[in-house]
Amino acid sequence: MDRLGGRKNNEIRDIKITRNYTKYAEGSVLIEMGETKVLCNASIEDRVPPFLKNSGTGWITAEYSMLPRSTHQRKVRESSRGKVDGRTQEIQRLIGRALRSVIDLKALGERTIWIDCDVIQADGGTRTASITGAFVAMADALYKLYKQKLIKKMPIKSFISAVSVGIVNGENILDLCYEEDSNAQVDMNIVMTDKGEFVEVQGTGEEFPFKKDQLYKLLDIGEIGNKMLIDAQKKALGQISDLILGTKTEVVIATSNSHKLEEIGSILKDFNVEILSMKDVNLQGLEIEENGTTFEENALIKAREVAKRTGKITIADDSGLMVDAIGGKPGIYSSRFAGENATDKENNEKLLKMLSNVNMSKRSARFVSSIAVVFPNNEEFTVRGTVEGKIGFEEVGNNGFGYDPLFIVNRYNKTFGELPSDVKNKISHRSEALEKMKEEFEKRFK
Ligand SMILES: O=c1nc[nH]c2c1ncn2[C@H]1C[C@H](O)[C@@H](COP(=O)(O)OP(=O)(O)OP(=O)(O)O)O1
Ligand SMILES: [Mg+2]
C-alpha cells in the first residue's frame, strides 16, 4: 500500500539542503524533509565551558526550538512561558551528543561550536532533520576555520545523519510525516554515521511492545534512510566532503620532464589533490607537438591533449628562459634552442656563446612558466609566473635542470643550480604560477 504522497515504505521524503541560508552564522543550512523545515545555524565561539578550560579540547552544544507557527496550533514561545520544556531539553541534548560523536574535539582546539536548530515548519521528524542539517552547517563552520588556517585539518571523523522509522498499521516505514507519526504503534529515531555505525537509537513501543526481529527490521530501513541522507549531505557539501573523507581529486601533470614533475609535486604537496604522472595514466612517451606561438598556447595544447585522453583534470607547464640581450630568446624555443633533440648542455653552450660579448650589466633575463589547467568538461584557464635574474658566464651548481646552472637569481645572487630545491621552489616562476593556480582552483570550487 502506498503511503501519503505515494511513497514506498522504505523511501525518505524529498530532501533539500540549502547552504548559506542566512548570512551571519559561520554555517547556515535550511534543511527540508518533505514539509518539515528546520534552520540549522552553527556559530563558533573562541572559548569553552569552565570544565574544559586549559584542556586544549573543544566543545559542541546545541539548542532546539520550534517557532510559534511551526505547528497546526500556535505554540507559546518558551521565552514567554519562562521555561524550557522537557521535550526541548531532551532534543537539544540528543543533537549535541550526536554531533560530538563525530568530531575530534582535541583537533577543534579550545572553541565551542553552538548549534541552533529552529523549526520553521513541523511535519514530523524535526529532531532527526535537525541532526542531518546541523551536520552540514557544522561542516561549513569548520571549513571556515580550516581555510583561515586556525585548524590544521578538518576535525570531522564521520558524517552523521538521523531518520525516524516506525510501525504504522503493522507496516515498517521510513521517515514518518506528522500524520504517520501520530498513528504510529512503534516510533524510533536512528542516528548513524557514514560507516554504518549507530550513535543513538531511541525507540518506544508504548502501545505495541515489539520483538527483536521487528527491531532488526526497523534498524534495516533506518540504515537505508541514513545512507540516502548522508549522500545528500555529501552532494550538498561538494569539495568540502572530499576534504572530510580524505579523498582527493586526481590531477594529471602532463609533462615528459621528470624535473618539472618533481617540482610541481613538491610545490603542490599541501594542496588537496592526488598527483598523477604520465606514467600513472599510461601515457608515458606520448609526444605532443608544441606548435603554439606563446607559452600559454603551448601549455594549453599539452593539457588539452592529456585531459582528452584521460578524462581527468590536467595541468601542463610550458616554460622557458627570456634573455633581454637577444630579444627575449630562446623563449618558447628554450627546450629546442640548439636543435630538435638538444640536451640541456647543448642549449646552455649555445646561450653562452651568443652572449660571449655581452657584459654583466646587460645579461638580464627571466624564467617564465605558464601553467594551463583543463577540466574534463573542457573548462580551462592559464596563469603565469616569472622570476628575474641574469645569465652567468659559466655553469655553476648541479641542482635543478635546464638553464638552472646559468641563471643567477637576483634575490640570492646565486644560480638555481646552487640553491637547494626547496629554496628554488619557493621563489621560482613555476611556484608563482602554481600559487596563482591554487587561488583559481579555490575560486572555482567555492
Ligand atoms: O625551472 C627551470 N629551470 C631551468 N630551466 C627551465 C626551467 N623551467 C623551464 N626551463 C627550460 C627547460 C627547457 O629547455 C624549457 C622548457 O620547455 P618545455 O617545453 O616547457 O618543457 P619540456 O619539453 O622539458 O617538458 P614538457 O613540455 O613535456 O612539459 O625551459
Ligand atoms: Mg616541451
Determine the residue type at 131.
I
H-helix or E-strand spanning residue 305? helix 295-310
- In angstroms, rounded to a whole number, what is the distance separating the alpha carbons of residues 277 and 258? 9
**For residue 32, pLDDT beyond 60:** yes
CATH code of the domain covering residue 51? 3.30.230.70
CA distance readout (Å), 344 to 125, 219, 351, 355: 69, 67, 11, 17
Range of the domain at 344: 249-444
* pLDDT, average across residues 229-245: 92
Note whether 295 and 176 are same-domain residues: no
Note whether 119 and 233 are same-domain residues: yes
CATH code of the domain covering residue 291? 3.90.950.10
Residue 399 CB–ligand 1 contact under 6 Å: no
In contact, 424 and 399? CB cutoff 8 Å: yes
SS3 380: strand
Look-up of cell digits 584557464: 381
Atom of ligand 1 nearest to the CA of 256: 28
Q: Are strands 27-33 and 414-415 parallel, antiparallel or unpaired?
A: unpaired
**For residue 272, pLDDT beyond 80:** no
**Cell output for 33:** 524533509
**Centroid of ligand 1 to alpha carbon of 352 (angstroms):** 18
The ipTM value here is 0.98
* Residue 233 pLDDT level (bands cut at 50, 70, 90): very high
Note whether 230 and 315 are same-domain residues: no
Cα-trace Rg, the chain: 30
Each residue's pLDDT tens digit, 273-286: 889 999 999 999 99
Residues annotated within a binding site: 87, 125-127, 255-260, 289, 318-319, 401-404, 424, 429-430
**Domain limit, last residue, from 221, 245, 269:** 245
Note whether 169 and 269 are same-domain residues: no
CB atoms within 10 A of CB 408: 21
**Centroid of ligand 1 to alpha carbon of 278 (angstroms):** 16
Note whether 222 and 260 are same-domain residues: no
Domain count, the chain: 2
Note whether 269 and 218 are same-domain residues: no
Note whether 165 and 136 are same-domain residues: yes
In contact, 188 and 204? CB cutoff 8 Å: yes
**For residue 445, pLDDT beyond 70:** no
**Domain limit, last residue, from 245, 273, 292:** 245
**Centroid of ligand 2 to alpha carbon of 244 (angstroms):** 37
CB atoms within 10 A of CB 428: 26
The residue whose CA has the least distance to atom 10 of ligand 1 is 320
Q: State the average pLDDT for the chain.
A: 95
Give ion ligand 2 contacts, CB < 5 A.
335
Note whether 263 and 216 are same-domain residues: no
* Residue 120 pLDDT level (bands cut at 50, 70, 90): very high
Residue 226 CB–ligand 1 contact under 6 Å: no
Q: How many residues does the chain have?
A: 446
Closest CA to 227 of 273, 188, 193: 193
Note whether 206 and 295 are same-domain residues: no
CA distance readout (Å), 118 to 35, 145, 162, 224, 406: 15, 24, 16, 26, 66
Backbone angles phi, psi at 285, to 5 degrees: 90, -5
DSSP string across 193-233:
ETTS-EEEEEEE-SSS---HHHHHHHHHHHHHHHHHHHHHH
Burial class (CB in 10 A: 0-12, 13-18, 19+), 247: exposed
**Centroid of ligand 1 to alpha carbon of 138 (angstroms):** 45
Residue 401 CB–ligand 1 contact under 6 Å: yes
* Residue 206 pLDDT level (bands cut at 50, 70, 90): confident
- In angstroms, rounded to a whole number, what is the distance separating the alpha carbons of residues 188 and 193? 17
Residues annotated within a binding site for Mg(2+): 289, 318
Q: Name the DSSP letter for residue 11.
A: -
**Domain limit, last residue, from 245, 270, 302:** 245
Q: pLDDT above 70 covers what percent of the chain?
A: 99
Note whether 238 and 308 are same-domain residues: no
* Residue 249 pLDDT level (bands cut at 50, 70, 90): confident
- In angstroms, rounded to a whole number, what is the distance separating the alpha carbons of residues 403 and 392? 10
Note whether 258 and 316 are same-domain residues: yes
Closest CA to 316 of 269, 255, 275: 255
Residue 257 CB–ligand 1 contact under 6 Å: yes
In contact, 241 and 266? CB cutoff 8 Å: no
DSSP string across 156-186:
B---EEEEEEEEETTEEEES--HHHHHT-SE
Burial class (CB in 10 A: 0-12, 13-18, 19+), 24: exposed
Residue among 293, 314, 321 to mutate when testing ligand 1 (max atoms within 8 A of CB): 321
Residue 417 CB–ligand 1 contact under 6 Å: no
Note whether 156 and 270 are same-domain residues: no
Closest CA to 139 of 67, 205, 237: 237
Atom of ligand 1 nearest to the CA of 344: 14
In contact, 173 and 188? CB cutoff 8 Å: no
**For residue 446, pLDDT beyond 70:** no
Each residue's pLDDT tens digit, 163-176: 999 999 999 999 99
- In angstroms, rounded to a whole number, what is the distance separating the alpha carbons of residues 333 and 345? 15
Look-up of cell digits 526550538: 65
